Structure 1
Amino acid sequence: MESPITPDLLRRFDVPGPRYTSYPTADRFVEAFTDADYGQALAQRREGPSALAMPLSLYVHIPFCESLCYYCACNKIITRHKSRSAEYLGWLEKEVDLHAGILGPGQPVSQVHLGGGTPTFFNDDELRQLMQMLRSRFAVAPGAECSIEVDPRTVDATRLQTLADLGFNRISFGVQDFDPEVQKAVHRIQPYEQVAALMAEARRIGFDSINVDLIYGLPKQTPESFARTLGQVAQLRPDRIALYAYAHLPERFKPQRRIDAAELPEAAGKIAMLSQALAAFLSAGYVYIGMDHFALPGDALAVAKRQGRLHRNFQGYSTQPDCDLIGLGVSAIGKVGATYSQNAKTLEEYCDALRQGRLPVVRGLALSRDDLARRAVIMALMCQGQVVFESIELAWLLDFKNYFAPELEEMRELQRQGLVVMDDAGIQVTASGWFFVRGVAMKFDRYLQADRNRARFSRII
């Protein structure tokens, strides 16, 4: 298969835009939303009809890393002092207990995700304590989707078996690029042979899904060097691939100041790398899930897309229904009911709140009716690739064509470009449009249309 996109389309959509892991996006959260508002949302969930019917998703943020990757824009703490993780585990337990106290015991959980930072900074005993802590306060379902982000430099075959024994059935390896010069430029050295050996062992153990993260647009990358990495990844044949565009924002992310901007590929080079990746993965038999995700046809994510069951949350595309998400740990983001919330971004502020017996939420958002209606449209585009007007009208008691009249004018222009097909019943994203679905969804973002300052977002490609 060849990529159904043209260089002209790639250039036209080389613009910043949200990733829509939520709508409204996290940059719209306000400090007027407090821990008291979040506590009220939790209480309403406990008292509502969905308390036991709708499973929870749990996200735990572990911020520690042993070394700094220069490209990183995540909330992390660089340290080699392993004692810090034991102390952090104690604070997590306090936060979990506060949630359990409000929600009540036995809340069903269908999904657990450990992210970071580097979750495998925790040693085996600490990971065991963490999972036991969660299972003792929540009813984690048998066969629940339990995933963990893994730095290949922090695990070996024995540790992979331990992760499986703890109930993790999905793992994600951070690779980014296999080229030695690129790895040196971003301060992340991990040979191909090391990752290949770990993936072979993960397959032997029997993890349900293995993901590999890649980044294009890094310093010293060229279309030629990235083509070699793409070939190596195709050989490894992970179940899923996440392909991200590097966003160089040194004014926002201090580690990126160590990157020499002169070594970054120009726009034409990035476009070539993206085009190469799309063609390589499609020809290797991967299904394009949307945005920056690919999966083998038999993977649960590809199956969910075929069956129209794809969802999206703060971790990206998911097979899980649109369930409430509890974010645990420093900077973690959650969604409960019609609210979003985010914990304190510094460890000091996070611990101080817990020391006072308070949930460490410092900002968030209570969604308006307009937010909810637009979220439904944006997520339908991002996940199913279509919007059925009648379904939105029935759910939100509005006349779609009147309510979204300006947006439909924008859709007509996208239709002329071949990215969507629109008729009286709805909007359908085309095969080409899937590669620019962020650009399609942006047309329904009321905040973004009112605020043309988009430099804070990564580029669509």
Structure 2
Amino acid sequence: MSQSLINKYNVAGPRYTSYPTVPYWDLDSFSLELWKDSLKRAFNESNNSEGLSLYLHLPFCESLCTFCGCHKRITKRHEVESPYINAVLKEWRLYRELLGATPKIKEMHLGGGTPTFFSPENLHYLISELLKDAELAEDYEFSFEGHPNNTTEEHLQTLFDLGFRRVSYGVQDYNLSIQKAINRIQPFENVKRATDLARKIGYTSVGHDIIFGLPFQTEADVIETINKTKALMPDRIAFYSYAHVPWIKGNGQRGFSEDDLPTPESKRQQYETGKKRFEEAGYVEIGMDHFALKTDSLYKAMKNKTLHRNFMGYTASKTQAMIGLGVSSISDSWYGFAQNVKSNEEYYKLLDQDIIPVFKGHILNTEDLVIRKHILNLMCNFETSWEDTSLVFDDLPEVLIKLKEFESDGLLEFGTKHVLVKEEGKPFIRNICMAFDVLLQRNKPNTQLFSMTI
């Protein structure tokens, strides 16, 4: 990749798990009642045809990983499990009362935190209670994030028996010095054990999450981690760029100095080297940051152009409505977003009052909905079109002018009413999406709101 292009486009920018992005949500015009109306509309439109997605945020971890930007609560006291589970079930009951009809569950994902912080017995109770008054879509997919150090055979079997067929393990990097810097020490043997157990039980998709750009990390470290990963051949790989935003996430990312991080040039080389080695091993790049074997559902979704992206990342199919349960979870009705309170104490307090624990959100206007489609098309398919007049918006001429610069740099090509991101442009997909982001263009952000794009 051209060093001049890296220098030009390595700016702070969104990752576009939503549009509008969270800093541009219109909080003044948002209310819990408007959110409820938007969710009921989405549910009535799509439950029978698509079904509903559930994201469960399980925030507890026994130790703090200093690379992590997720919302978590650090504790070794496992008596916190039952009160939290009861609160999540109460929140689900409030949504069930709101929606009325029986929900058809198509997707469920357990994220964190560390979902396997919870005992298998408590996870069984949580999931079985959630599904008690629901139907399952014919092609449902349940997945969870497992910590290789504490995911037991009982965890895997319990969730498998409840319908889970996909698990992802956080690997990050196998170099011990890097693991110490990010406070995430897990030997290769632990990852191998957890991967082998999942396959023995019958999981059809095992994923590994790897991060580049970590403190003290070199290209040689990335190569060594990938060589060990290839020995296990997970079905899909998330190859994430480390997002260094300690000013947003507090002291959690202060376990090392900025001086310990790779330069933007060496960080990008880590990605290019990783991508080449994944592709040599038979993996195909999917959207942004993801790779999958051709036997995995994520690859098949890309080929069928059914790939979807939301707050859970890339998924093999879409549902219009996604309900997030638990502290800090974000829900999506397509017409609106809503985020839960981030404090366990506030979460419990609102649920005790029979209030859905939302504290902020955004209701999308007509322009938002059109631009959201364009950005989703680009993030999933690397192309978008405005041949359909419903996808034309007022600022489109200005957006096309900005896109011409990417064309001059050899990163995309134009049709009459169509734009296609070239192979050379894929590493810059966040920058290309930023050209469509009219809210970002109208209100230049504080650069500390986002991580660097490259």
Confirm or deny a common fold (TM above 0.5): yes
Task: Give secondary structure in 1 for the equivalent of 2:211.
Answer: strand
2: distance between equivalents of 1:100 and 1:448? Answer: 36
Match for residue 374 of structure 1? 371
Q: How much does 1:369 deviate? A: 0.4
| Residue 297 of structure 1 pairs with residue 305 of structure 2 | no
| Residue 163 of structure 1 pairs with residue 163 of structure 2 | no
Q: How much does 1:196 deviate? A: 1.3
Match for residue 201 of structure 2? 205
Match for residue 12 of structure 2? 16
Specify the code of the residue in structure 1 equivalent to 2:241.
A
Specify the code of the residue in structure 2 equivalent to 1:314.
F
Match for residue 36 of structure 1? 33
Q: Is the 8 A contact 2:52 2:319 kept in 1?
A: no
Q: How much does 1:322 deviate? A: 4.3
Q: Is the 8 A contact 2:13 2:430 kept in 1?
A: yes
Number of matched pairs: 451
Equivalent residue runs for 1:419-458 within 5 Å = 419-453=411-445, 454-458=447-451
Task: Give secondary structure in 2 for the equivalent of 1:251.
Answer: helix
Cα deviation, 1:293-335, whole Å, max 9, x if unaligned, reads 1111221111111121111111111111242100100000011
Specify the code of the residue in structure 2 equivalent to 1:376.
K
Equivalent residue runs for 1:280-319 within 5 Å = 280-319=277-316
2: distance between equivalents of 1:341 and 1:95? Answer: 14
Q: Is the 8 A contact 1:239 1:296 kept in 2?
A: yes
Q: Is the 8 A contact 2:3 2:265 kept in 1?
A: no
CA shift in 2, pair 1:132/1:305, >3 Å: same
More divergent stretch after superposition (51-60 vs 341-350): 51-60
CA shift in 2, pair 1:69/1:96, >3 Å: same
Specify the code of the residue in structure 2 equivalent to 1:26.
V
Q: Is the 8 A contact 2:116 2:155 kept in 1?
A: no
Specify the code of the residue in structure 2 equivalent to 1:407.
V
Q: Is the 8 A contact 1:97 1:137 kept in 2?
A: no
CA shift in 2, pair 1:174/1:438, >3 Å: same
More divergent stretch after superposition (254-263 vs 358-367): 254-263
Q: Is the 8 A contact 1:60 1:328 kept in 2?
A: yes
1: distance between equivalents of 2:298 and 2:186? Answer: 28
1: distance between equivalents of 2:198 and 2:87? Answer: 31
Q: How much does 1:445 deviate? A: 0.2
Match for residue 396 of structure 2? 404
Equivalent residue runs for 1:169-318 within 5 Å = 169-253=165-249, 254-318=251-315
CA shift in 2, pair 1:317/1:126, >3 Å: same
Q: How much does 1:405 deviate? A: 0.4
Match of residue 408, structure 2, among 406, 416, 420: 416
CA shift in 2, pair 1:252/1:63, >3 Å: same
- Runs of 4 or more above 4 Å deviation: none
Q: Is the 8 A contact 1:74 1:117 kept in 2?
A: yes
> TM-score under structure 2 normalisation?
0.95
> TM-score under structure 1 normalisation?
0.94
Match for residue 325 of structure 1? 322
Q: Is the 8 A contact 1:245 1:459 kept in 2?
A: no
CA-atom RMSD in angstroms:
1.7
Q: How much does 1:201 deviate? A: 2.0
Cα deviation, 1:137-193, whole Å, max 9, x if unaligned, reads 322235511000011111133332222122211101011111111001111110011
Cα deviation, 1:393-429, whole Å, max 9, x if unaligned, reads 1x35x4x6x7400111111111111111102131111
Give % identity. 39
Q: Is the 8 A contact 1:34 1:361 kept in 2?
A: no
Q: How much does 1:258 deviate? A: 2.2
Equivalent residue runs for 1:3-82 within 5 Å = 5-32=1-28, 33-45=30-42, 48-82=44-78
1: distance between equivalents of 2:387 and 2:412? Answer: 18
Q: Is the 8 A contact 1:35 1:358 kept in 2?
A: no
Q: Is the 8 A contact 2:173 2:221 kept in 1?
A: no
More divergent stretch after superposition (210-219 vs 364-373): 210-219
Specify the code of the residue in structure 2 equivalent to 1:275.
E
2: distance between equivalents of 1:74 and 1:380? Answer: 26
Match of residue 389, structure 1, among 386, 391, 394: 386
